[in-house]
Amino acid sequence: MRTNIEQTLDAAAVTTQAIREFVQEWAAITTPTRVEVVSAADDARLIQEALDAGELLRAGEGRYYARSHVNDTARSEARTVVATSNPSDRGVYNNWHPADEVTATLRGRMRAASAGKTMYVVPYLMAVPGTPLAPFAAGVQLTDDRTVVLHMIRMARVGLHLFDDLDDPDFFVRGVHVTGDLDALNQGTPEDQRLFATIADQRTILHYGSAYGGNALLGKIAHALRLASYDGWVSGRFLAEQFLLLGIVDTHTGRTYHVCGGFPSASGKTNLAMTLPPDALGDRYRVEFYGDDIAWLWTGDDGRLYGMNPENGIFGVAKDTNETTNPAAVDAMGPGSGAIFTNVARHDLTGEVWWEGNTRETPTQIEGWRDWTGQLITDRDEHTRNDPWAHPNSRFATALTNIPTLAPAADHPAGVPIDAIIFGGRTSDREPLIRAITDLAEGVYDGLTLGAEATFAAEGLDGQLRYDPMSMRPFLSYPEGDYAQHWLTILGKLAHPPIFAHVNWFQRDPDDGRYLWPGYRENLRALLWLIDHHHGRANGQHTPVGIVPTPDELDLDGLNLRAGDLDRLLHIDHARWGAEMHHRSEHLAQFPNLPEPIRDVHKRITTQFEWR
């Protein structure tokens, strides 16, 4: 007699034996009450079930609201590990652990941990169907949280039919997510039971102890970044990076230029990815959105670098998102979008949502508003009266197709050719507005030494530079020296390599603290110069760390800068850079097996600044 699980898999037409065995194995471990196989077509039904169960609340027409457990609001780097059977995979930042130990620990913690719940089986593809990298994009996530399923439907392509065209439907990432008892996990203590593991060489992801998106949406970060990065290295075929991807269309020539790049936290990555042209340049240029968080990159048959966004949605930080900073995002989460908001403030009667930076002022009529913890604002005492209404890491999730600036080529399986790779970190001094880098090794070196001033004031780190190689520090899955060599190998095959650049929108006046550059939509002007330089239409001026624009090469039409600000924006401070090179030496000294071309670049730049 067939079991209930076998009958469920039969009814859902799960014919792939590997998927059946995977589901049965983990159902026996986690012991859910029932198993359900889902696809994107189930979204409306699952939304209604979540509303009926109180897991979601309405947030206006066709929008929804979720509230996290108060101890489950963000990723935890300390509880996130990469595990393999090979100790040589240990890096500085990947938090490597032995695979057998991690697997045994998680099997123990997950045992019977889904009792009384439904196990949802979520087959997905983290790629455009038909892409050359589709074999690395297939996955099946098991989860005991319905809200996680709804987020996965927004962030990935979901359904068993996606496996039909795969050459080997048994080659997929196996992901298991078990929420656990969030009241009893001892979060943030020495007894913390949470553990989020990517078993890289087994292509398995096991996450226990959270329902927050960054920990629970296994297809997103754990698969499309950590595991895909490892897959790309082992196969020698591609790079998987925490990169934005955008297109700049010159409507006069009809040419589209594609730019990707990495930015550490709070350095403007999402706003740049979804930017609009400045009003003064809007008649000529159009910016098209591909992705704000992840890009997969590979060598095309024509000798160019190609890229694509493997995600099917955005999981954006709500804080400071508004009509000025990111109008495309505001449209994408509008009425009827199906967007899900997490940990923002919500009004009991209207369902309206709000977060810090959504409007210039906090709502003046506070009756009916609840903060992200569920407390009525009117019930706050004198100690909490001025606390934020929304959690600083509050989120919105919405499908790519809701974004008004989405590129027509975003769903092309062949990807798009990459013209430029940029890095950008929030620094108040040292880094000019933009500096172009034409040498491959120097470009990779610049990515490895990428840093941003920390914004974690509560931890006493505010203003300190935190190095974040390629903006991948929390997502690296193998050693940094091998990572750098993999970059050199992949891009070294190109007959027509992209240009590199470093950008910085955050220079401040040392006297009054104001930003020297207006930022946001005006940032496109720096990228237009980069494109002109790459194609020989702008020469720039050479410095020890790359080529910066001359003041007359930037298109500043319609932009009024204070006298002297442009010169400061393009200035290389030799003394400040000399000190920086000393810190970079300490940073790079952590990484064994650093490729010789990277060491040579560092030595060359260091000698030019003669640090004392």
Q: How many residues does the chain have?
A: 612
551 alpha-carbon distance from chain centroid = 34
75 is in an annotated binding site: yes
Evaluate the CA torsion angle 272, 276, 281, 285 in order and state its sign: positive
Cα(587)–Cα(125) distance, integer angstroms = 37
326 is in an annotated binding site: no
| Nearest of 199, 158, 145 to residue 32 by alpha carbon | 145
Cα(189)–Cα(192) distance, integer angstroms = 5
What is the token pair recorded at 168? 């080997």
4 is in an annotated binding site: no
Q: Are 288 and 249 in contact (CB under 8 A)?
A: yes
Cα(427)–Cα(488) distance, integer angstroms = 27
2 is in an annotated binding site: no
269 is in an annotated binding site: yes
267 is in an annotated binding site: yes
213 is in an annotated binding site: yes
- Reduced to 3 states, what is the DSSP secondary structure of residue 473? coil
What is the token pair recorded at 79? 């509880």
214 is in an annotated binding site: yes
Cα(581)–Cα(604) distance, integer angstroms = 11
483 is in an annotated binding site: no
Q: Please say if 267 is a catalytic residue.
A: yes
Q: Are 319 and 356 in contact (CB under 8 A)?
A: yes
> Within 117-174, where are the H helices?
146-155
DSSP state letter for 562:
P
612 is in an annotated binding site: no
508 is in an annotated binding site: no
426 is in an annotated binding site: yes
Other C-beta atoms lying within 10 Å of the C-beta of residue 283: 10
Q: Which residues, 6 or more positions from 19, have their beta carbon under 8 angstroms from its beta carbon?
A: 9, 121, 123, 140, 163, 172
What is the token pair recorded at 291? 């992705």
Cα(524)–Cα(509) distance, integer angstroms = 22
Cα(484)–Cα(116) distance, integer angstroms = 47
Cα(232)–Cα(216) distance, integer angstroms = 23
288 is in an annotated binding site: no
What is the token pair recorded at 339? 């967007």
Determine which one of 267, 337, 471, 477 is catalytic.
267
481 is in an annotated binding site: no
What is the token pair recorded at 264? 């550490």
| Nearest of 357, 349, 350, 291 to residue 323 by alpha carbon | 357
Cα(30)–Cα(118) distance, integer angstroms = 10
266 is in an annotated binding site: yes
What is the token pair recorded at 356? 């810090």
Other C-beta atoms lying within 10 Å of the C-beta of residue 574: 13
401 is in an annotated binding site: no
Q: Which residues, 6 or more positions from 457, have their beta carbon under 8 angstroms from its beta carbon?
A: none
Cα(598)–Cα(186) distance, integer angstroms = 43
What residue type is 18 in one-letter code?
Answer: A
Cα(357)–Cα(427) distance, integer angstroms = 22
How does 202-236 read in b/e, with b if 16+ C-beta sit within 10 Å? bbbbbbbbbbbbbbbbbbbbbbbbbbbbbbbbeee
270 is in an annotated binding site: yes
Query: Where does residue 466 rank: exposed (0-12), middle (13-18), buried (19+ CB within 10 A)?
Result: middle
* Annotated binding-site members: 75, 212-214, 265-271, 393-395, 426, 520-523
* Annotated binding-site members for GTP: 266-271, 395, 426, 520-523
Residues noted as catalytic: 267
* Annotated binding-site members for substrate: 75, 212-214, 265, 393-395
